[in-house]
Structure 1
Amino acid sequence: MNLFSINRNISVIVLLMLIGLLLLSLYVLALQESEKPFYFQDPKLSDVDKANIISFGFSKDIPIIDSIDVWDNIYYHSSDITSNTLNFEIKDLEESLVCKPLGFGYSKTQSDIIFNPLANYPNCEKVNPEFIKYNKTHLINDCKNESFYSLGTAPEDEIFGRVPYDFSWNSFNSNVETKNREFAFVKCKENRNAEVFLKYNSKAVERARNISKSIENDLRIKSSGRPLTVFLVIFDSLSRHHMYRSFPHSLEYLNDTIGKGEFKDHFVMYDFLINHAHGENTIPNMIPYLFGYSFNYHRLRLKGNGYQNPEHQQAFKDIQKDSIWKHYEKMGFVTMFGFDIIWDFLVPAVGRKVLTDHVFTNFWKASSKVFGTDNYINKHSCFGSHDSHYYMLKYVQEYLKTYEGINRFGYVHITTAHEKTGTIIKTVDDDLHQFLKSVLKQYNDNKNEDIVLFLGGDHGKHVSETDYVREGWLENMLPSQIVISNKNFVQKMKIEKTLNLNTKRIISRPDWHLTLKHLSTSPYGLLRKDSNLYKHWKTTTDTYNTVSVFMEEASVFRTCKDLNIEEYLCVCLPYKEISRTNIEENINIIEIINLAFQNINQNQNFAICQELTFDKIIYAAEREIEELTIYRLRITINENIDVVFEIFGSIFSEKTKDVNLRENTLMPFKVLGENKKTIVQLLKAVRIDEYVGYNEEIAIAVNEKPSFCIPKHPREFDDIDFSQEEITSVFDKLIEEHTVRLTRSNNTCNDECKLYDSVCQPWVIMLLSNKDILMQSWLIERSYQIYYEDGVQDIDLNSYELFYTKNILGLQNKTIYLPELEYSCDLSDSKIQMICPCK
């Protein structure tokens, strides 16, 4: 082929690409202007095209002026709204309902076996009496002994997620001015207390008032309307059933006061029964809630920018412009965000810097040092005189009171339930009861304001790797969702019937997002269903089937597919267990498993992460939907007997691929048969056993997915491994991040680390159970620095004799004790000094 032909072909390709881009742009433009409902499935578009359409939609500014009927021009009269009561039992779902759940979760008999009904935890205030107070400007110390304080960070230093936190104590000689800080700690001998206090943000108030006034002027509103509060209190891993099990006092209080008591004439509440999750964990559920569309589209919109790269942070600030909190800011609200965990649950989607007027996240990073706590220890810990969740609820109460008379929005995420036992969440009940009591009294006393309070879960309790029953999976997919509002607001929005109907119909995460956007207009008037603004907002969600729960009745004919809920997750479609004989004969299952391992092992760092291989199937079930068959599998691997993966895959004919084939790089597929008539596709592979600690930390250190990167047990690393710098550099890094200390007599490692405002890490004890890693035998100079009390010693561990035990990592005379089975920070001995990795 000559040069002219090559250039001509290149020109043709470029021309075709430009024509395709032009057609897509014209299509998107037509979509934005069209009043005809648009479904992503028709015509079939790639996920990239869908993400581009969403981005284009967010770039358009649709004026509010032609979409709202202002309150000045609407007459509404008070009507008798029935006060609903909350009831664990579910009755009277409509016969015509197409998506009717197979169930709602564990029975009482099942749950009493899984979640210890007798589990009880100490009252923190009795264990650690309060000795500090706050008087609006200063900390006041009631401690009679020598004491120290530490102030929290300034608001501009709030950094979301897992980042280092610098901490130090100062002598408490007189009352301490808190300046612009919003939390503080005080220690008095062995006792430690915490205090939180919100500081008034005058710039946020001025901005909110100016925006509200501007909107009112545009709409020619004669007098300002009633201020509105919209607030989300989201509990991690809280299904509807688990909410009823865990919060009996709070729900009884709501029934006694709103259902039939002192607030029955002022408030009303709604319990949404089929509040469907979009995934097993936080991100796939909260992204459509907070942004309106799936995390897959969100990831595409981020275009490869990673939250761990400081140079990429602008991309996260840009995408936050489309978040629900930024939307509320543009509608004349002050805003708040709170998350009570030090890990990166939501960070990959929003970045390190959350752009709200108030951010409350650093308190928990500091608390881990002060109180010696860490995430996922699976035991109850007091944060001074209160439980962890108390401080979030207290901060929210102060936020709501501080900004009375101003429109306010907030979202907080409380992770008390995110632990293995499923019982520590019970400690929330009394504090939630007091929180509800305070909030309801505030808005009952001030009848000139409206409130919509959401109490819900991001998803339900995670299914255990040993739990095969249908009820566990149903609980994971049906998070709780209670909405409380004042009757006056419900009346003027004319939505009582709509809300009551929607409580018994399938509701998606984008539905709640659109609902939040709809509510943001209500201080100014009534948003019309046929308005350009409302229709435009629908185009920035997953599907035009999305509705505002406060405006439209969700159709009885809705299906999971209509709402972009993966059909393998749908609670309305049955799975049928496959017998052992049929499993062995089913070639499709083997192909799905092969695709799963292809996906799991892709791009792994095999110096640290093992290449995983299939062991056996421990559970298999199938779901048939017309010409599509979906498989749900539980499998184990050869490399670690404790690891369990859950795999979802699909089988369908080639002629239905336009409908059933998912175009996603995370979902590989394969064409089967001589005539290529069948397609098998992996839908999802997820690890469901608990893998925090050693497994997770090693994976993070090499920038791999913790669920897929499964390193060898520390004792399995050998001389060949220690000759590889790629491996030893990881161990060096992890050990350097910790201060290694020796306990004094009868102290546990938890006690010893806490004395130095740090936390003992059991997974590092596991890491150091290999004598060569403990001694860093790959180093030429191996003198070991170890801290004892306030000094440091250089110890040549090679001169020590090794002695293997069940669970002790420690020193006695010239003997090193190494653990073989258990790795604990809670052991103590009068003669053996425990070796403690503190961080």
Structure 2
Amino acid sequence: MSSRIVGGRLSSKWLIFCAFLVILMILHMPSWIDEIDPIALSATESSFLVPTHGGNLSDSKAMKKKYFVHTSKCRIPYIDPFSEGAMKLYSPRLFIPCSNESELVSAIYNPNLRRYVLHINQAVAHQLLNSTEKEFNCFYREIKHGKKADTYDMLNPSKYFSQGYVVPLHVEGMLLDCETAELPPITLQKDAYMFIQYREMPAAAKPTKHTPRKPSVIMYGIDTLSRINLRRTMPLVHEYLRGPGWYEMQGYNKVVGDNSFPNIFAILSGYSPEKAKEHICDTDKSGCLDEIPMIWKYFKNASYLTAYAEDESSSNTFSYLKPGFSKTPTDYYFRPFLRALEEETVNYHCPGCRMVYCMGRRLANSYVYDYCRQFMQRYVKERPIWGMFWSNHFSHDDYFMPSAMQHKVLGDLLDYERDGAFEDTIMIFFADHGVRYGTLLDLDEGYLEERLPMMFIYLPPWFREQYPEYSAALELNQHRLSSNFDLHNTLKHIIELGGTPDGPKLPKSFDCPTCQSLFYPIGESRTCSEAGIEEHWCTCEPYKTIGYLGWSNRIAPRVIERMNEYFVHKNLSHLCSNVSLHYIHKTEIKTGLDITWNGELPQLETAVYRTKFKVQQNSADFQATVVFNNITEVVELDVEKISRTNSYKEDSTCINDKIAKLYCICFSDLKS
């Protein structure tokens, strides 16, 4: 009897010890375990080994592979942003303020007057004057929209203002200059302000008691930022985006093209540039972009107030090697003010940056996101609004520069939250693509860095409560393959909310008839083609690197032949040098999801390959996805789907064709 009691006590102690050990293991489980939701893993892959020694696996073969997406037709592997290879390259950037001076003049919105009032800070003036006795004067010049949509006009002469000046409603932008009263005057401080001036809602657009509540939609975009690099360079922002109401589209895969235009165009129009050219107009022709059925037109027709802003005119989505708009596209349009800021203020380029970093006293992107904040402050409590606010300047050329900006970006989001804007707004925090060239692409996971832009969607509490089925679908779709065309359909779904069941439905994305709103569950067996994602950009199926076999080395030369034929076809042979192979970085074969090849790879007659190679001319690097026949040595590919994986800005200055610039090495730019 006593022995059984002792044995029972020992068993109880042993169970308590085991339970304590399990709890201890859970508490010390590393942060990367939380990166993937169990819904993204198959049953056999939802068990993990706990790493030892601060995260190093004791047995890497035993570690179950993790995925951003794990379905029957798509497996996008999880990538550690802080892998050893990535961290050898990673160099955090230092934030550089544009000015250390406090504002001499600030613009304060008076809600009672519904007007902006200029306040002069006398303490700052005394500091700048180094005196409390000296007098000074302040003036402003109005920035006006020009006769063309993308231009500005300056009204002269300058207008004097004093303390408490109420800005006239017609003034939407101004350059300020305060100077000493002595002769000749000495400048104390220059500044600039852009205003979202209040506009009364038309009577026909005013909601009634029976009008369904409509969410506002704000799209906050950052160029060239993958979901992997966001984690690496902006961990504080990423942590914020994991809060209540936020959904991360972990399988969001860009659809087409190397650069911003085709991917943003797909979101905003539902078309690819090629299909738009075939069915509507050529986006390279003047006036075409005015004809395209952009999403803001649908929002405007649904009584939404609209706005659009970017922070870099030379690389603007619709103006870089594109004709831009001949008509003002949205109710509030920032580009004319941006042009004035770039031309009329002192611009500063940070070290190694091609784009403007500071315009006057402020960061280039601060104007854009202050414009966004004003837009929400003026209207979000009164009427539904749609706006897109896009930043190129700090992320486009330096993929580690976001590390210097994370406090700025986090501050923007927190400001919007403190203002109460998130109570009424669906926020889309997104990018167009990831890193397109540079050393990160040399990593094995480089193709994922490039093809998986960040995509976060916030739903306000009332929306989640009123439409639980939509938030449940979004929760599920975080771990399903999705695309730009799905986002386009989601925006139109938002416009349709509150309409009658038998009312007219908006046309869905033209280029992808099988795409859908993200507010409906995405099928478990979805493929890239069903999401409108072209083969070259698809991240769903694995590739296996093959050695330097004779037959595999014949692929890159055939691709180069097609590139040289392309120059002839485009009538560019007199400007662009033929290219010739220098060496092959690597060649990979598409294996499929359920194929495992051990040992020597079979020499298949026809297969899909991905080859990355360098050419002799200016050491340009390219990556192509092709179908290659080992018997006939014929390659099937679209040259305009080949990726350029290093910078080409100094190689193709002789042409303005946005696509051909990726492949053209101008005779005039050839390096010895």
Query: What TM-score results when the alignment is normalised by the length of structure 2?
Result: 0.74
Could you say if the C-alpha distance between residues 699 and 542 of structure 1 is closer, same or farther in structure 2, counting changes exceeding 3 Å?
A: closer
1:123 is matched by which residue type in structure 2?
P
Does the CA contact (< 8 Å) of 1:155 and 1:359 recur in 2? Answer: no
Task: Find the partner of 1:115 among 90, 114, 125.
Answer: 90
RMSD, matched Cα: 3.7
Kindly state the Cα deviation for residue 501 of structure 1 after the two structures are TM-superposed.
0.6
In the other structure, the counterpart of 2:192 is: 194
Kindly state the Cα deviation for residue 516 of structure 1 after the two structures are TM-superposed.
0.7
In the other structure, the counterpart of 1:669 is: none
Task: Find the partner of 1:90 among 33, 36, 56.
Answer: 36
Kindly state the Cα deviation for residue 649 of structure 1 after the two structures are TM-superposed.
2.1
Structure 2 unaligned spans of 5+: 1-30, 43-69, 109-114, 130-135, 179-186, 596-604
Could you say if the C-alpha distance between residues 105 and 276 of structure 1 is closer, same or farther in structure 2, counting changes exceeding 3 Å?
A: farther
1:371 and 2:350 matched: no
The count of aligned residue pairs is 565
Q: Give a deviation string over 1:195-215, Cα, whole Å, max 9, x none.
A: 22212234xx32xx52566xx
1:498 and 2:473 matched: yes
Is the partner of 2:487 in helix, strand or coil? helix
Does the CA contact (< 8 Å) of 1:591 and 1:680 recur in 2? Answer: no
Q: Distance in 1 between matches of 2:232 and 2:420?
A: 28
Is the partner of 2:247 in helix, strand or coil? strand
Kindly state the Cα deviation for residue 451 of structure 1 after the two structures are TM-superposed.
1.8
In the other structure, the counterpart of 1:234 is: 221
Kindly state the Cα deviation for residue 703 of structure 1 after the two structures are TM-superposed.
9.3
Task: Find the partner of 1:399 among 375, 387, 406.
Answer: 375
Q: Distance in 2 between matches of 1:687 and 1:334?
A: 39
Does the CA contact (< 8 Å) of 2:356 and 2:364 recur in 1? Answer: no
Task: Find the partner of 1:341 among 301, 312, 315.
Answer: 312
Kindly state the Cα deviation for residue 253 of structure 1 after the two structures are TM-superposed.
4.4
2:233 is matched by which residue type in structure 1?
S
Kindly state the Cα deviation for residue 326 of structure 1 after the two structures are TM-superposed.
0.3
Residues 528-567 of structure 1: matches in 2 within 5 Å?
533-534=504-505, 537-538=507-508, 540-550=509-519, 552-567=520-535
In the other structure, the counterpart of 2:102 is: 129
Could you say if the C-alpha distance between residues 323 and 710 of structure 1 is closer, same or farther in structure 2, counting changes exceeding 3 Å?
A: same
Task: Find the partner of 2:277 among 299, 304, 308.
Answer: 299
Q: Give a deviation string over 1:584-624, Cα, whole Å, max 9, x none.
A: x6544432321122114533455554344444333322325
Residues 6-45 of structure 1: matches in 2 within 5 Å?
none
Does the CA contact (< 8 Å) of 1:596 and 1:685 recur in 2? Answer: no
Kindly state the Cα deviation for residue 274 of structure 1 after the two structures are TM-superposed.
0.9
Q: Distance in 1 between matches of 2:157 and 2:361?
A: 21
Q: Distance in 2 between matches of 1:172 and 1:113?
A: 55
Q: Distance in 1 between matches of 2:546 and 2:376?
A: 53
Kindly state the Cα deviation for residue 632 of structure 1 after the two structures are TM-superposed.
2.3
Q: Distance in 2 between matches of 1:703 and 1:564?
A: 22
Q: Distance in 2 between matches of 1:240 and 1:390?
A: 22
Q: Distance in 1 between matches of 2:305 and 2:33?
A: 34
Task: Find the partner of 1:273 among 250, 255, 278.
Answer: 250
Kindly state the Cα deviation for residue 254 of structure 1 after the two structures are TM-superposed.
5.3
Kindly state the Cα deviation for residue 148 of structure 1 after the two structures are TM-superposed.
7.8
Residues 225-624 of structure 1: matches in 2 within 5 Å?
225-253=212-240, 258-259=243-244, 268-279=245-256, 280-304=258-282, 306-307=284-285, 312-313=286-287, 315-319=288-292, 322-343=293-314, 344-347=316-319, 348=322, 351-369=325-343, 370-373=345-348, 377-378=353-354, 381-403=357-379, 404-443=381-420, 450-464=424-438, 467-494=441-468, 495-522=470-497, 524=498, 533-534=504-505, 537-538=507-508, 540-550=509-519, 552-582=520-550, 586-606=553-573, 608-624=575-591
Q: Distance in 1 between matches of 2:250 and 2:659?
A: 38
Could you say if the C-alpha distance between residues 705 and 184 of structure 1 is closer, same or farther in structure 2, counting changes exceeding 3 Å?
A: farther
Residues 62-211 of structure 1: matches in 2 within 5 Å?
89-92=35-38, 93-95=40-42, 97-98=71-72, 99-104=74-79, 106-117=81-92, 119-126=93-100, 128-135=101-108, 136-137=115-116, 139=118, 151=141, 153-155=143-145, 159-160=149-150, 173-175=160-162, 180-187=170-177, 189=187, 192-202=190-200, 205-206=201-202, 210-211=204-205
Q: Distance in 2 between matches of 1:183 and 1:426?
A: 31
1:429 is matched by which residue type in structure 2?
Q
In the other structure, the counterpart of 2:643 is: 686
Q: Distance in 1 between matches of 2:174 and 2:248?
A: 37
Is the partner of 1:430 in helix, strand or coil? helix
Does the CA contact (< 8 Å) of 1:237 and 1:418 recur in 2? Answer: yes
Does the CA contact (< 8 Å) of 1:183 and 1:196 recur in 2? Answer: yes
Is the partner of 2:402 in helix, strand or coil? helix
Does the CA contact (< 8 Å) of 2:490 and 2:516 recur in 1? Answer: yes
Kindly state the Cα deviation for residue 371 of structure 1 after the two structures are TM-superposed.
2.4
Could you say if the C-alpha distance between residues 437 and 183 of structure 1 is closer, same or farther in structure 2, counting changes exceeding 3 Å?
A: same
Could you say if the C-alpha distance between residues 501 and 137 of structure 1 is closer, same or farther in structure 2, counting changes exceeding 3 Å?
A: closer
Could you say if the C-alpha distance between residues 645 and 512 of structure 1 is closer, same or farther in structure 2, counting changes exceeding 3 Å?
A: same
Q: Distance in 2 between matches of 1:250 and 1:630?
A: 38
Kindly state the Cα deviation for residue 650 of structure 1 after the two structures are TM-superposed.
1.9
Q: Give a deviation string over 1:665-711, Cα, whole Å, max 9, x none.
A: xxxxxxx84xxx9663335223332233x5454434x9994334433
Is the partner of 1:124 in helix, strand or coil? coil
Task: Find the partner of 2:655 among 699, 706, 709.
Answer: 699
Q: Give a deviation string over 1:743-797, Cα, whole Å, max 9, x none.
A: xxxxxxxxxxxxxxxxxxxxxxxxxxxxxxxxxxxxxxxxxxxxxxxxxxxxxxx
Kindly state the Cα deviation for residue 401 of structure 1 after the two structures are TM-superposed.
1.4
Kindly state the Cα deviation for residue 408 of structure 1 after the two structures are TM-superposed.
0.8
Q: Distance in 2 between matches of 1:508 and 1:466?
A: 23
Does the CA contact (< 8 Å) of 2:271 and 2:511 recur in 1? Answer: yes
Query: What TM-score results when the alignment is normalised by the length of structure 1?
Result: 0.60
Task: Find the partner of 2:617 among 619, 634, 639.
Answer: 639
Is the partner of 1:616 in helix, strand or coil? strand
Does the CA contact (< 8 Å) of 2:304 and 2:383 recur in 1? Answer: yes
Could you say if the C-alpha distance between residues 324 and 86 of structure 1 is closer, same or farther in structure 2, counting changes exceeding 3 Å?
A: farther
